[in-house]
Each structure stands twice: as C-alpha cells, then as structure tokens.
Structure 1
Amino acid sequence: MEIRDLDVTLLRTFAAAAERENFAQAAEKVFRTQAAVSQQMQRLEAVVGCDLFTRVGRNKRLTDQGVRLLEYARRILSLNDEAYRAMTQAVFEYPVKIAACVDAVDTLLPEYLAMCAETYPGLRVDIQVGRSRWLASALRRGDVDLMLDVAPHEDFHHVVLRTSPVVWIGGARFHAQPSVPLPLVLVDSGCPFRGMAIEALAQGERPWRTAFQTSTLAGVRAALRAGLGLTPRTIEMLTPELKVVDQELALPRLPPISYRLYSRVNDCSDSARKISALISPG
C-alpha cells in the first residue's frame, strides 16, 4: 500500500476550516484568501481520497470522514508545534533569579511566570521575596538578575509593568464606628502603602490608629477578613471576602502605584533580557 505524506500546512488550514465551518473565516485565521483555502482543501481531499466537507447553506460541515481526519489533524499539529518549540527554544544554562516584593508575588508574578513557562519551557526561575531595601541590595550585589518592586529605585534601569489604582480595602464584616479613629491594618515600617495612607489621612485631618500591624501580606489579609480594620492596597488584592470602602467611609483618594521591573544598567544576562522583554508591555 502506498503511503503518502499529509502536508502540515494543509492540515492546519483544514483544522481552521473545521472549527469555523466557513472557508472565508478560515482564510482570515491562516492568512490566505478564500480561494486559496478552497484549493488547499481540494488538494487534501485528493490526497486522502474522500470528501471532507459538505455544504449546509453558506457553511461547510464535516463529513464523517472529515470528523475522523480532524482528530488526527489536531494530534499531528500539536506534535509538530511541540517539536518546533523543543528545537528552537532558548537554552538556559542557569536559572533566572528574580527578587520580588510581597505585593508582586501575591498578584502579578503568577501571571508572568505562566508566560515564561509557556514561552520558555526550559527556563528555571528562582524567586526570592523580601522588602524593598533588601531587594535593592540583592540586585546591586548581583545576587539576583531582576527585581520586581512597587518602591522607586533611581539607581537601576527599569520598565513599568503596570500602574494600578490604590484603594482602601476592608473585610466584608468591617463596619466603621463614627467618632472613633479609623482602625488601620498596616505592614510595619518600609512599606510604601503605609506612608501613603498616613500622609493622606494627615492631609485630610482624619484621625486614625493602628489596629493591627504585621510583617506579612498574609497577616494583612487575615486581619482584614477578621474585620479588624482597613488598609490601602492595589485593586489586585481584592477577593470576594474583601471590599473597597473609599466612598462608604468618605476616605481621601490615594495616588496610583506602579509595579516596576528593575535590572542593573549594562549588566544583565541574556536570559534576564529575554524575560524582561517577554513580560514588559509593548
């Protein structure tokens, strides 16, 4: 029995046409004209020796043989694409070390790590979490390749990954008491959100007190859920058990804050540059 090769290009067009049931829409997907798609499907039908589509109104529906081929086509395309990525992906000899503030680890970093894993499957990433002063020292010493932080560091090159609104957040069970200083849940010294809150309340002449102080973001979340007070944070921190209380309590507006990716000027590894380029906007 003669074995003939199935053209991957034809299979990719076939899969697009099968998913959209329309050659015109498939043409947009594979960047060809509708006439070219029709010609490709005729060639594929000639190779396999059967009709793959039947016309239903303006649409194209798969025949039973078309349904059967589609299953194989998807498997072939998946294996083809996997092989291509395996042969062309960058080889990383050493892990990329990223120092990150707790706010970034809790909100942005999972999204960026997923992007890295999908684009560079062979990449190893070492995440180190700490406060701004320690992060900057680690980057300056060369202990880490990149730094993700919300605090400004003028002596490093940086790109802004995202600028987020900062709001007052409380737990669903929190209820303010009139004529009582505002109870704040704060991270101890060194946190930019702490200084932001105190300055805004001072300018608004709003009395406040420290209801709960912790060194971790997990502690902040626990205190908020318990209804102990409120805290300023970016909207990324919101979960179903937390709420924005700005308008409810007539609290002063807070300035937005930027998540920045820092690197050493003229001293960045090729791996770090690839990661920086991948997650940087634009």
Structure 2
Amino acid sequence: MQNLDIDLLRTFVAIAQRETFASAAEQVGRTQSAITQQMQRLEQEVGCVLFEKRGRQKTMTTDGSRLLAYAQRILALNDQAVQLARSRGAGEKVRIGSPHDVADSILPNMLRRLSKLSTELQMEINVGRSPFLMDALREGELDLVISTRYDEAFPGVKLRTSPMVWICAEDFTFNPGEPVPLVMADELSLFRKLSIAQLDAHGISWRTSFISPTLTGIKAAISAGLGVTARTTELLDANMRVLTEGDGLPRLPDVAFYLYVQPTCTSNILRELFESTERIATRFGPAFV
C-alpha cells in the first residue's frame, strides 16, 4: 500500500482554501511552478486527475473533491499527533508524595527531572509521613511516592541510603547514666521503632520526652533542648549535634528511601522518570540517582 506525501496533501488543501495556485504558493512559501509540480506528483500517487482547466483557471475535479475530504482529515490527525508529541504531557496533572525528611533534598531533584521531561506538567505535591503516603498510593490518590517503607506490592527503586543518627540541640546536656529522653513521632514511625529497638537491645533505659505527629514538631522540640531523637542526617542543622557511641548510645541502622509508582499510572512522563531512575540505580547504584 502506497503512503501519501503529507507535504503534497498540505499544498493540495491550501489550493482548495485559497482557490488559485498562485495564492496557495504564497501560503506554503513555494513558487507557482513548484506548486504545479507538486500536484502532478500527487496525481501520480493517487492515480487520478485532481484539477481540470476551465478557461484560464484550474478547478477541482470530482475525484479531487473526494480526496480533499480525506486530505483534511489526514492533516488534522497529523498535526494533532505532532502537537501531542511536542507537548510531552502538557496539561497533564501528576500527584507526587514525599516524606518531610527529603523534601529539601531528593524531592527537588525529582521535580527538576520531571520539569525537563515536560515544561507544562501540572504537579501536585503532598509532603507527609511515609505510612500515610503509602496508603494514598495504595488507594490511587498518588501517582508517585518517595518513602522509607519497603513494599513489594509496588514497582520500586532504591533512591538513597541515609545514615540514621542520634540528634540533639547543640547546647543539650546528655547524661549517659539517666534514661534517654526521646523526642519521637507516634507508633507508626519507622524511626521510633528502630531507635527503641536499639536501646532495648543494648539494655539502655529511655523515657518519652516529647511526641509529635510531624517532623516540624520534632525539630522544634530538639531545637528547644527537650531531648534526643533518632533521624537521618537530613534533619541536622547548624544548631544541632550528633551523639555517638562515645556518648554511650548504640549505632543505628541506615534508612533507605524508595521511589514507588502507582501500578495503574497511565502517565508516560512518570513512567519515563521511574524507568530512567531504575536504569541509573541499576547501573551506578542509588547514590547516583
């Protein structure tokens, strides 16, 4: 089956719109003789006469009128396809979730990469706690999630492994002989579970000093000198310091951050981001993502 030349069809439609070869030549930026040669080639492709002379003018034949309707539809579909390909997700809305811990580090990098894939992408950002973000992903309320939770139910890739450390205020006085005053989140917190497990495993007593459901509250309590928290190094700022084994506290395990995509996600942009992230992590390791 022979394919029709899009350029020839575009000139053909221009002639129909402008009614003369000379006027159509101006529209498509060609000479009149070039227009005539194009129509001769189109007639050879379709195997019929498209124009006939009536006096000094050329008018469209019945076959030409029949082809015109198809030519207009072909051009419309072609132009729509080109526009869609160039837009790369223009107007598309994607919902992204990230924990507070990496909202200033991993998340901006992800958003930057997304913006390069599509400058017109609409991004809705949900910064919250990992267990709630995973619930939202499971319910289809988010399309892409960064999380500390490992979950085989979703396609995922490890983004980074961060050291978890004991953090307190710069001027906080830590007394190894007393129960460790813990600043924590509630029972859903991975950091709470890991820190208590390590203290219990080493026979170190502890007490609850402050509980907050948000990282903002935990950071405020630490800055106020209310106690010690176990968190990744992303929490540290100039007014805080790290307590180590030399202070009598046990070493804490590293925490991994994962990128998950909704299995039913239809966004080609998000799929491209996820797959490129997976390729980089597989080839070079999470530290290069």
Give 2:130's aligned amino acid: S
Secondary structure at the counterpart of residue 145 of structure 2: strand
2:96 to 87, 95, 98: 98
Q: 8 Å contact 1:132–1:190 — kept in the other structure? A: no
Partner of residue 120, structure 2: 122
Q: Deviations over 1:30-57 (max 9, x none)?
A: xxxxxxxxxxxxxxxxxxxxxxxxxxxx
3-state SS, counterpart of residue 167 of structure 1: strand
2:103 is aligned with what amino acid? V
Cα offset, 1:260, TM superposition? 0.4
1:218 alignment partner, SS class: helix
Cα distance in 1 for partners of 2:89, 2:136 equals 25
Structure-1 residue corresponding to 2:217: 219
Residues 1:145 and 1:243: Cα distance change in structure 2 (over 3 Å): same
The higher radius of gyration belongs to 2
Distance in structure 1 (CA, Å) of the matches to 2:105 and 2:219: 13
TM-score, structure 1 as length reference: 0.63
**Hey, what's the Cα distance between the residues in 2 that align with 1:208 and 1:107?**
31
Pair 1:178–1:140, CA change in 2 (3 A): closer
Distance 1:143 1:266, change over 3 A: closer
The equivalent residue for 1:139 is 137
RMSD: 2.2
Deviation at 1:117, TM superposition (A): 2.9
Inter-partner Cα distance in structure 2 for 1:258 and 1:170: 22
Contiguous gaps of at least 5 residues in structure 1: 1-86
- Please state whether the residue corresponding to 2:226 is helix, strand or coil: coil
Whole-Å Cα distance in 2 between the matches of residues 89 and 101 of structure 1?
A: 30
> CA 1:120 to 1:94, structure 2 compared with 1: closer, same or farther past 3 Å?
closer
Distance (Å, rounded) in 1 between the aligned partners of 2:221 and 2:279:
34
Q: Which residue of 2 aligns with 1:254?
A: 252
Query: Contact 2:183–2:229 (CA<8 Å) still a contact in 1?
Result: yes
Alignment of 1:98-247 (within 5 A): 98-247=96-245
Size of the alignment, in residue pairs? 196
Q: CA deviation at 1:246?
A: 1.4
TM-score by length of 2: 0.62
